[in-house]
């Protein structure tokens, strides 16, 4: 997965905002989101999901932003793992301390 360094997790109130950029879009009408696929000892796992929109979402290079807010993050989670749709690759980012 390209754009590995674009992923970031930040706290916005009580919600964890996970954002980044992906280049895995199947077509220019695809939208991207994350869905939780599980949690392990200190890792909250999410998978990139694609939807279809009526308007062009991606630019000509098929890259686009992904934003996800999660209000129920396990207290023990110190990392977020973002997996590609087929599970063959992932990016892991640290969850900042709650302030």
Q: In Å, how far are 23, 26, 44, 51, 82 from 56, measured between CA atoms?
A: 15, 12, 31, 12, 24
Return phi, psi of residue 81, to 5°.
Answer: -115, 120
Q: Are 21 and 31 a contacting pair, CB within 8 Å?
A: no
Q: What is the pLDDT of residues 43-71, one digit of tens each?
A: 999 999 988 777 776 776 777 889 999 99
pTM for this structure?
Answer: 0.86
Rounded to the nearest integer, the mean pLDDT of the chain is 87
Positive or negative, the Cα torsion across 30, 23, 10, 94? positive
**Across the beta sheet with 64-70, what order do the strands follow?**
8-12, 15-22, 64-70
Task: List the chain domain ranges.
Answer: 4-94
């Amino acid at each position: 997965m390209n754009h590995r360094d674009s992923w970031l997790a930040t706290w916005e109130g009580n919600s964890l905002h996970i954002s980044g950029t992906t280049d895995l879009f199947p077509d220019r009408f695809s939208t991207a989101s994350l869905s939780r696929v599980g949690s392990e000892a200190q890792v909250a796992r999410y998978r990139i999901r694609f939807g279809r929109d009526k308007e062009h979402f991606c630019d000509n290079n098929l890259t686009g932003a992904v934003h996800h807010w999660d209000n129920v993050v396990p207290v023990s989670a110190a990392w977020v793992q973002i997996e590609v749709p087929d599970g063959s690759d992932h990016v892991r980012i640290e969850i900042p301390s709650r302030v």
